[in-house]
C-alpha cells in the first residue's frame, strides 16, 4: 500500500511542479501602471479687446468689422447702423472679385494672360504699327494697358446706360491710349471695362453670369453680391458692385485656404515691377503708401518703398471709394473686412480714412490672433 502511494506521488510530481511554477508566475506578475494621457492644451481664444477699442474710437459712427482665417469668422463688430450683412456699394472692392473671376478663366485655360485684346474684340486694332495691338489681358488687370481714363479726369461712357458695353469700349478704343501700353501703372476705370468686354465675348455671357457661375455660387455667396442695376451691360466694372461683409468674407476665406485659386503664386505676382507708378488714387497717395498692384488688387508694403520682402508674405487689399475695405494677410494667415458706406463730398475721403484705420488694425489683429 505504501509502495502504491509512493508510486502515485512520484507520478504526480511533474503536474504539481507545473502548478507550482504557474502559481509562482501569477503571484510575481506586476499589473502595468495606468497610462496617463495628458490632453493637448486648448488654444486660448483670440483676445480682440484692443481691436474693439480702436474700432470704438473710429471717427465714423457707422462701421462694421469682420476678422477671420482659414477656419472662418473669428470676430464680428458692428456700430451704429452698419451691420455685416447689410448690402452696401463696395466701389473699388469690386476689382478683387472681378480679378479673381478673370484669373479663374486663366486657370480654366479660357484665356491666357498674354492674350491680345485684338484676338477677342473684333474692332480692336491688330495693326503691328498700332500700339493698341499690343494690349494684353494681363495688362488690363495690372492697369498697365495705357488706357488710363478715370472718372475724375473725364466723363466718358463707363456706367452710362445710354451705351452698351461694346459701344463704350469702342469709344475708349477709338480715343486711343493715354500712354504706351505696358510702360507705366495708371489706376483708372478703362482697363477693366475693356477686360469685361473681352470676358463676355470669350464666354458668350454677362460678367455677372460668369462671376456667379465660376466664383460666387460655388462659395454660397448670396444674390446680393452683383453689379448694380440700371446701366444695362455697361456698369462700371472696376467699381460698380454691391455686396455684404458676410458674402465677401466667403470669398476671402476661400482664397486664403486655397479652395478657389489653384495657382496662388501666379495670382499674387507683382505686375508693376520696375514700371513707374504714374497715377494712384488719393486714398493711397494721401496715406503715403508705396504699394504695387497685382491682378486687380493692391499689394501692400510698409515703409517708404516697396521691397522684395513684401512679395514673400503678401498682404493684398482692395479698398473702395465709400470705405469698404477687404484685405488678406497671407503671411499671418488671416483676412479682414471693414464694412463702411460713406457718401462722398463730405469734406473727407472715406477710402483714405478706411485705409488709415486698416493700417492701425493690422498689428492689433495679428496680436489678437497670436500670429
The pLDDT tens digits of the residues spanning 231-254 come to 999 999 999 999 999 999 999 999
Cell numbers that stand for 172 in this block: 475708349
CA gap 138, 111 in Å, rounded: 10
pTM, 2 dp = 0.88
Look at residue 348 in the predicted model and tell me its pLDDT. 96
pLDDT bracket for residue 312 (50, 70, 90): confident
Put the strands of the sheet holding 241-243 in their side by side order: 88-91, 241-243, 226-227
pLDDT at 170 over 60: yes
Taking residues 222-232, what's their average pLDDT? 94
Tell me the pLDDT band of 5, cut-offs 50, 70 and 90.
very low
Mean pLDDT throughout 159-182?
96
Question: Cell triple for residue 23?
Answer: 502559481
- The pLDDT of residue 303 is 85
Domain containing residue 92: 49-369
* Domain of residue 61, CATH code: 3.40.710.10
Higher pLDDT, 255 or 5: 255
The answer to whether residue 6 sits within a structural domain is: no
**What grid cell was written down for 92?**
473699388
- What are the tens digits of pLDDT across the range 273-284? 999 999 999 999
Q: Is residue 9 part of a domain?
A: no
Cα of first residue to Cα of last residue in the chain, in angstroms, is 92
Report CA torsion sign: 58, 331, 324, 138.
positive
Report percent pLDDT > 70 for the chain: 87
Residue 31 within a domain: no
**356-363 contacts at long range (C-beta below 8 A, 24 or more positions apart):** 356/287, 357/54, 357/58, 357/325, 358/317, 358/319, 358/325, 358/327, 359/287, 360/54, 361/51, 361/54, 361/55, 361/65, 361/336, 362/315, 362/327, 362/329
* Domain membership flag for residue 25: no
Q: How confident is the model at residue 149 (pLDDT cuts 50, 70, 90)?
A: confident
The answer to whether 294 and 270 are in contact (CB under 8 A) is yes
Q: Over the stretch 346-368, which tens digit does the pLDDT of each residue have?
A: 999 999 999 999 999 999 999 99
pLDDT of residue 4: 47
30 lies in a domain?
A: no
86-120 confidence digits (pLDDT tens): 999 999 999 999 999 999 999 999 999 999 999 99
Could you tell me the three cell numbers for 264?
A: 496662388
pLDDT at 29 over 50: yes
pLDDT at position 333, please?
97
Q: Does any domain span residue 3?
A: no
Mean pLDDT, to the nearest integer, of 318-326? Answer: 98
pLDDT score recorded for residue 150: 62
Q: Is residue 18 part of a domain?
A: no
Task: Output the average pLDDT for the chain.
Answer: 91
How many structural domains is the chain composed of? 1
DSSP 179-239: S-TTS-EE--SHHHHHHHHHHHHHHTS-HHHHHIIIIIGGGT--TTSEEPSSSTT-S-TTT
Q: Give the distance, in angstroms, between the CA of residue 151 and the centroid of all CA atoms in the same chain.
A: 25
Which whole number is the average pLDDT over 42-65?
A: 94
d(CA 301, CA 291): 6
In a domain, 303, yes or no: yes
Residue 180: alpha-carbon gap to chain centroid: 30
Amino acid at each position: 500500500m505504501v509502495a502504491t502511494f509512493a508510486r502515485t506521488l512520484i507520478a504526480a510530481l511533474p503536474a504539481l511542479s507545473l502548478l507550482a511554477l504557474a502559481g509562482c508566475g501569477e503571484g510575481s506578475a506586476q499589473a502595468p501602471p495606468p497610462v496617463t494621457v495628458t490632453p493637448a492644451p486648448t488654444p486660448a481664444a483670440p483676445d480682440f479687446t484692443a481691436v474693439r477699442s480702436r474700432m470704438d474710437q473710429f471717427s465714423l459712427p457707422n462701421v462694421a468689422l469682420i476678422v477671420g482665417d482659414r477656419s472662418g469668422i473669428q470676430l464680428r463688430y458692428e456700430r451704429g447702423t452698419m451691420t455685416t450683412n447689410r448690402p452696401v456699394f463696395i466701389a473699388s472692392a469690386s476689382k478683387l472679385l472681378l480679378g479673381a473671376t478673370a484669373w479663374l478663366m486663366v486657370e480654366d485655360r479660357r484665356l491666357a494672360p498674354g492674350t491680345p485684346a485684338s484676338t477677342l474684340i473684333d474692332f480692336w486694332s491688330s495693326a503691328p504699327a498700332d500700339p493698341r495691338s499690343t494690349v494684353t489681358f494681363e495688362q488690363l488687370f495690372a492697369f498697365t494697358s495705357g488706357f488710363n481714363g478715370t472718372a475724375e479726369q473725364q466723363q466718358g461712357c463707363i456706367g452710362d446706360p445710354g451705351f452698351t458695353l461694346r459701344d463704350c469700349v469702342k469709344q475708349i478704343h477709338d480715343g486711343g491710349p493715354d500712354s504706351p501700353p505696358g510702360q507705366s501703372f495708371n489706376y483708372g476705370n478703362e482697363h477693366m471695362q475693356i477686360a469685361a468686354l473681352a470676358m463676355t465675348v470669350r464666354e458668350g455671357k454677362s460678367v455677372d453670369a460668369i462671376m456667379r457661375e465660376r466664383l460666387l455660387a460655388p462659395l454660397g455667396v448670396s444674390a446680393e453680391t452683383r453689379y448694380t442695376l440700371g446701366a444695362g451691360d455697361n456698369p462700371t466694372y472696376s467699381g460698380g458692385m454691391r455686396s455684404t461683409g458676410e458674402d465677401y468674407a466667403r470669398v476671402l476665406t476661400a482664397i486664403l485656404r486655397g479652395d478657389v485659386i489653384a495657382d496662388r503664386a501666379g495670382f499674387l505676382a507683382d505686375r508693376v515691377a520696375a514700371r513707374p507708378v504714374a497715377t494712384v488714387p488719393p486714398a493711397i497717395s494721401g496715406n503715403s503708401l508705396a504699394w504695387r498692384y497685382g491682378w486687380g488688387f493692391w499689394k501692400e508694403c510698409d515703409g517708404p518703398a516697396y521691397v522684395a520682402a513684401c512679395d514673400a508674405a503678401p498682404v493684398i487689399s482692395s479698398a473702395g471709394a465709400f470705405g469698404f475695405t477687404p484685405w488678406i494677410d497671407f503671411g499671418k494667415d488671416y483676412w479682414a473686412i471693414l464694412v463702411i458706406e460713406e457718401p462722398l463730398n463730405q469734406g473727407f475721403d472715406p477710402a483714405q480714412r478706411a485705409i488709415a484705420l486698416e493700417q492701425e488694425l493690422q498689428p492689433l489683429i495679428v496680436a489678437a490672433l497670436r500670429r
